[in-house]
Amino acid sequence: MKITDVGVEILEVPLEHGYQAGGRKVVANWHVLARVRTADGIEGIGYVVKQRGDLVRAIAQAASELGEHLIGCSVLEPEAAWRKLAKLSDWIGPGGLQHWALAPLDIALWDAAGKAQSQPLWRLLGGYRDSLPAYASDRLWYSLGLAELEESAAAHAKAGHTAIKLRLGAAPDREMQAGRVRAAQQGAGPGVDVMVDGTQSWDYPTAALLGPALEEAGITWLEDPLYHDDIEGLASLAARLDIPVTGGENLYTLTQFRRTFEARALDIAILDLFRVGGITPWRKIAALADFFRLPICGHVVPEVHVHLLAAVPNGHKVEYMPRSTEILANMPAPVDGVLRPAEGAGHGLQLDERSVKRCRVE
């Protein structure tokens, strides 16, 4: 099970319909794709995804250099491999670029480990369940007009989703923001939960103003109402509202999560697989959240997060925002609001090699 070859490549996957995020146009999903191969023919794949090409080449170069140090390592020892690479790169970490470079390699290692043992990741990592509720999070941007928002919510409901999440911008207008919630509710119809992401857009006075209004409008959670390091403000807001305050996707390290959990700043924690540095550290943060009796969700990459969340007892919901459908031959999709992992050992995902070749950045 020794690694003999590691490859890293950049993919630019164009979007059919672009959108605005953070005031900038998003027209493609950029991937740093890693492949780990063993002497006995096993190949594991892993990737990170960004909405823009900024610094993607730097991430790919760092991953490529670190990948050279995996040669000779066993795919059955991902913890040892992660520690080795983290120590080599600790001068640019923890967090940041280091974790983005580690993540695709670590995901590929775990994929290969699952294949080597003929086990799907959800079972290899704990096996608590084999599916999880999902919520739709795509095409519900704050740049949409009310009619477009209602139409998008209706499309998600028609597809069988039982929960959707829309983004709200920075405007401190209670009626306007509540109106966007009502438009989404109107489109989705009865029986569909409407969740809100504040996208770290508000200061505490604005969040204290909008939170109760959105709660009254009927939302079922409020995500990232404040900047992620305003732990005191988040804790105050969480204590003030009856609906859960959620967040954590912008945190990188176990220490950051511990401080946030100790302050009771979140009711539900959201883990970003790429920012935390891959599956190996993700497991530790999930266990820490379980100690604090916190449910957890994953930020995007549902095709991998469904494995991780299904493996642990505090897995809550999968955010269904697929950004890699075009390069995969078997992207899993929710059925009646429930997502199951792709079948097969490891994460079970199969690359569409023709699409990969077409999107490869030379």
Amino acid at 16: E
Integer angstrom CA distances of residue 251 from 78, 212, 271: 22, 26, 8
> Could you say which DSSP state residue 134 is in?
E
Could you tell me if 128 and 311 are in contact, meaning their C-beta atoms sit under 8 angstroms apart? Answer: yes
- Residue of 247, 278, 303, 290 lying closest to 113 (CA atoms): 278
pLDDT number for residue 119: 98
Instruction: Please tell me the distance from the alpha carbon of residue 73 to that of residue 88, in angstroms, as a whole number.
Output: 15
Among candidate residues 184, 159, 123, the one with its CA nearest the CA of residue 334: 159
| Residue 353 CB partners (closer than 8 Å, separation 6+) | none
Preceding peptide of 94 cis, ω within 30°:
yes
Q: Give the global pTM.
A: 0.96
d(CA 92, CA 253): 13
C-beta of residue 346 within 8 angstroms of C-beta of residue 120: yes
User: What does each C-alpha distance from 28 to 19, 152, 324 come to in angstroms?
Assistant: 10, 20, 11
Domain covering 122-339 in this structure, CATH number: 3.20.20.120
Count of beta carbons in the 10 Å neighbourhood of residue 87: 11
* Residue 22, pLDDT score: 65
Q: Helix, strand, or coil here: 196? A: strand
Report the first-to-last Cα separation within the chain, whole angstroms: 30
CA 10, distance to chain mean position in Å, is 19
CATH 3.30.390.10 domain position(s) in the chain: 3-118+353-361
Q: Please list the pLDDT of the chain residue by residue as tens digits (362 residues).
A: 899 999 999 999 998 877 777 667 889 999 999 999 999 999 999 999 999 999 999 999 999 999 999 999 999 999 999 999 999 999 999 999 999 999 999 999 999 999 999 999 999 999 999 999 999 998 877 778 899 999 999 999 999 999 999 999 888 899 999 999 999 999 999 999 999 999 999 999 999 999 999 999 999 999 999 999 999 999 999 999 999 999 999 999 999 999 999 999 999 999 999 999 999 999 999 999 999 999 999 999 999 999 999 999 999 999 999 999 999 999 999 999 999 999 999 999 999 999 999 999 98
Quote the tokens at residue 104.
């695709």
User: What confidence score (pLDDT) does residue 153 get?
Assistant: 94
3-state secondary structure of 236: helix
Give the CATH H-level superfamily of domain 3-118+353-361. Answer: Enolase-like, N-terminal domain (3.30.390.10)
How far from chain centre, in Å, is Cα 48?
Answer: 10
Contacts with 112 (C-beta within 8 Å, 6 or more apart), sequence order: 1, 36, 38, 42, 43, 44, 75, 346
Backbone conformation region of residue 142, classed left if phi is above 0, alpha if psi is from -120 to 50, else beta: alpha
CA 286 to chain centre: 14
Residue with tokens 């170069």: 61
What are the phi and psi torsion angles at 45 (to 5°)? -125, 145
Q: How far is residue 77 CA from its own chain's centroid?
A: 24
Find the largest Cα–Cα distance for the chain: 62
What is the token pair recorded at 280? 């190996």
Q: Could you tell me where in the chain the CATH 3.20.20.120 domains are found? A: 122-339
Per DSSP, the chain holds a count of helices (H) and strands (E) of 12, 13
Q: What is the pLDDT of residue 198?
A: 95
φ, ψ dihedrals at 138, nearest 5°: -95, 150
